[in-house]
Amino acid sequence: MELLCLGLNHRTAPVEVRERFAVGNTKLGEAAHELTALDGVAEGVVISTCNRTEFYLVAPEAAAAFALLESHLSAKTRLHTEAAAHFYRLEQSAAARHLCQVVGGLDSMLLGETEIFGQVKQAYQAALDAGATAGVLNRLFQRAFGVGKKIRTETSIQQGATSVGNVAVDLAEKIFGHLKDSEVMVLGAGEMSRITAQSLVSRGARSIFVTNRSFDRAQELAAEMGGAAVRFDEWQHVLERVDVVISSTGSPHAIVHRADVEKARHARKYRPLFFIDIAVPRDIDPAVGDIEEVYLYDIDTLERLADEARGRRQLQIDECERIIDNEIAKFQLPGIP
Amino acid sequence: MDRWILIAATLLALCGSVRGMLAVHRGRRSRSTVFWMGAALVCQMVFLWSRGQHRGVCPLKDLGEMLVFLSWSLTVFYLLIGPAYRISLLGVFSAPVVVVFQAVALLPGVLQADPQKVSGGNAWHEMHSATSVLAYGALALAAVAGVMFLVLDRQLKEHHLQSGLFRSLPPVRELLVSLQRLLWLGTGLLTVGVVAGFLMPHDKEAIGHLLTALAVWSGYVALLGVQTVRGLTGRRLALLAVTWFILSLGVFAFI
């Protein structure tokens, strides 16, 4: 018996091809079961995320099994010769190694991301529930999850936020801990501030105030995030109660000046205040950062921190590969040399 | 024998300190610090119990005993507060303080080699000594939390966020809450100590000591008063907690 993997991902196929092969979460078990219905295929697991669709199977002969699977997929997707160019075909230990890389986030578009671990687990569970797995794939996936955990605990490939929004949210948590006791004000209803504010809400921020020159737009964004809209000439009053200010207006000059914050300090009892300035030109006067309890981060600083985290993750790749090599050597899967 | 137990306690705290610092350097949580400090606490208790047996009263009769009692108090508050507020790093910062206090106690002449039995002990005197040293333990830990805040504040202000220490430090707000609670606890205990000090039989020579204790207590009460009524920036609160603790410790060392 041979372990095989046939798949396509963000590197080998454009989204218009990937979407044709995508399998919904609720259909993963059924798709795995369909694999085992193919002639000679003993076991099967289907992994499908927005960036990849992969078919793991155990069959007696690789070439025949790949041909059978490709013809099955062609029939399902109505893509014929053009689809074959986007597939990668891996056999035996190369397939096992690839699964470990996927689980560890090494093959992801965002290097080291952790979501894939859960997605693979879900795909495996669906195949298991559908009765599509047995000795080889059960052991392979269990081992791969072990490798994923090892990569997470023994390397720093998953550490540090790699996007501006996540860096800002991580910093907010470093300052305030749980965000459930924190209030946020959004200055300017642009896309970047919306994304960052939503990240804060998803991590538990207690309430959101949105202000914008166009009050209608502020109301729209506030409604979207379950917050309250504030008229643009009243944001200074809200400053007295909030913990985080996200600013991303299109103003050609600074909107928040040191004097505005100084006025609010006494009412705030000098509590820490976190300013995230993602506007260009900057909305917040850099002198605001000189106030003792204020932590001010502009777009360049946030970009630099995200870049550094990405760089650190790149440096961890060799260490992760070494862990995978060591673990693959210990696998001893039936039929896999 | 007492001396060997104290050496063991100091080595255990040193292990906790070194292992904790190494873990922080690697950017990981220091899980073993609680264990090492717990073991150090057991040795401190054995030491204090043994000295208490010799003295027949609370063992606070020489500078060495006071330093060990203070270290014990600091360790107890760390073990009570550190895990409760998820600030295991407090141990990494307080362990070196314990090591320094106990190392000073081990210097020749600081700890009486042959502790004499004290006759005619007074309950108010005992309470004054014990609660004052306990208070200093809580206030020392507040100062440690203050130092941790100052380190984190500087890193956040200057955008230097890559060190293992930064990743290990608890959030700003948690540090400030812990700092304030320790200040309240320490000041509360100090209040009992000062009141007991004025109630104990004392001669004219003790007046200076009691007035100094009153001045230290007033400083902490003023700090908490300003913080509660007007508010203080985290940096000022931390700086004042650290400075006032060092000053008061220094003053008592000379009285």
Q: Do A272 and B234 touch (CB under 8 A)?
A: yes
Taking only Cα atoms into account, the Rg of chain A, rounded to an integer number of angstroms, comes to 25
Please tell me whether residue A4 adopts helix, strand or coil conformation.
strand
DSSP structure string for B52-98:
HHHHSS-S-SSHHHHHHHHHHHHHHHHHHHHHHTT-THHHHHHHHHH
- B138 and B232 fall within a common domain: yes
User: What pLDDT does A18 receive?
Assistant: 87
Q: Please state the rounded mean pLDDT for residues A272-286.
A: 93
Question: Do you find a cis peptide bond into A281, omega within 30 degrees of 0?
Answer: yes
Please give the mean pLDDT across all residues of chain B. 87
> Can you tell me the distance from the alpha carbon of A293 to that of A133, in angstroms, rounded to the nearest whole number?
57
Closest CA to A45 of A114, A145, A115, A113: A145
B116 part of a folded domain: no
Residues of A within an 8 Å Cβ radius of B: 156, 159, 171, 173-177, 181, 266, 268-272, 289, 292-293, 295, 297, 301, 305, 308, 312
**In the listed set B61, B76, B111, which residue is the last one of a domain according to the structure?**
B111
Q: Residue A325 has which token pair?
A: 């090599």
- B127 and B246 fall within a common domain: yes
User: What pLDDT does B167 receive?
Assistant: 82
> Can you tell me the distance from the alpha carbon of A107 to that of A102, in angstroms, rounded to the nearest whole number?
5
**In the listed set B111, B140, B159, which residue is the last one of a domain according to the structure?**
B111
Task: Return the minimum-mean-pLDDT range out of A33-37, B50-54, B205-209.
Answer: B205-209
B7 part of a folded domain: yes
- B107 and B131 fall within a common domain: no
pTM for this entry? 0.76
B240 part of a folded domain: yes
- B218 and B128 fall within a common domain: yes
| Domain hosting residue B50, numbered range | 1-111
Which of A166, A292, A303 best probes binding to B when mutated, by most B CB atoms within 10 angstroms? A292
Q: Please state the rounded mean pLDDT for residues A136-145.
A: 93
Q: Do A177 and B170 touch (CB under 8 A)?
A: yes
For the question of residue A50 being annotated catalytic, the response is: yes
Q: Please state the rounded mean pLDDT for residues A202-222.
A: 91
- B211 and B248 fall within a common domain: yes
pLDDT bracket for residue B12 (50, 70, 90): very high
Neighbours of B103 (CB within 10 A): 16
B62 part of a folded domain: yes
- B23 and B63 fall within a common domain: yes
A180-193 pLDDT, tens digit per residue, is: 889 999 999 878 88
- B71 and B4 fall within a common domain: yes
Task: Return the minimum-mean-pLDDT range out of A2-16, A75-89, A114-128, A196-210.
Answer: A75-89
The answer for B 205-234 residues in CB contact with A (under 8 A) is 230-234
Q: Please state the rounded mean pLDDT for residues A216-226.
A: 91
B250 part of a folded domain: yes
- B105 and B217 fall within a common domain: no
- Shortest Cα distance from A292 to chain B (angstroms)? 7
B85-139 pLDDT, tens digit per residue, is: 555 677 778 889 999 999 999 998 888 888 777 776 788 888 888 898 889 889 9
**In the listed set B111, B144, B162, which residue is the last one of a domain according to the structure?**
B111
Amino acid at A178: H
- B249 and B211 fall within a common domain: yes
- B150 and B90 fall within a common domain: no
B59-85 pLDDT, tens digit per residue, is: 777 888 889 988 998 898 888 877 665
Closest CA to B125 of B33, B225, B57: B57
Q: Which of A175, A269, A270 lies nearest to residue B171, judging by beta carbons? A: A175
Which of B26, B86, B156 best probes binding to A when mutated, by most A CB atoms within 10 angstroms? B156
CA atoms within 13 A on the CB side of A46: 25
- B82 and B190 fall within a common domain: no
User: Domain tally for chain B?
Assistant: 2
Q: Do A175 and B156 touch (CB under 8 A)?
A: yes
Sequence-distant (≥ 6) Cβ neighbours of residue B171 within 8 angstroms: A173, A174, A175, A176, A177
> Can you tell me the distance from the alpha carbon of A141 to that of A92, in angstroms, rounded to the nearest whole number?
14
- B189 and B64 fall within a common domain: no
pLDDT at B200 over 90: no
List of domains in chain A: 2-157+316-330 (3.30.460.30), 164-307 (3.40.50.720)
Task: Return the minimum-mean-pLDDT range out of A142-151, B90-99, B226-235.
Answer: B90-99
User: Which one of the listed residues A5, A50, A100, A320 is annotated catalytic?
Assistant: A50
B40, B98 Cβ separation under 8 angstroms: yes
Please give the mean pLDDT across all residues of chain A. 90
Q: Which residue has the higher pLDDT, A109 or A148?
A: A148
Neighbours of B5 (CB within 10 A): 20
Please tell me whether residue B184 adopts helix, strand or coil conformation.
helix
Answer whether B157 touches A (CB < 8 Å): yes
Which of A166, A174, A312 best probes binding to B when mutated, by most B CB atoms within 10 angstroms? A174
Helix, strand, coil fractions of chain A, as percent rounded to 5: 55, 15, 30
Answer whether B173 touches A (CB < 8 Å): yes
Q: Do B172 and A301 touch (CB under 8 A)?
A: no
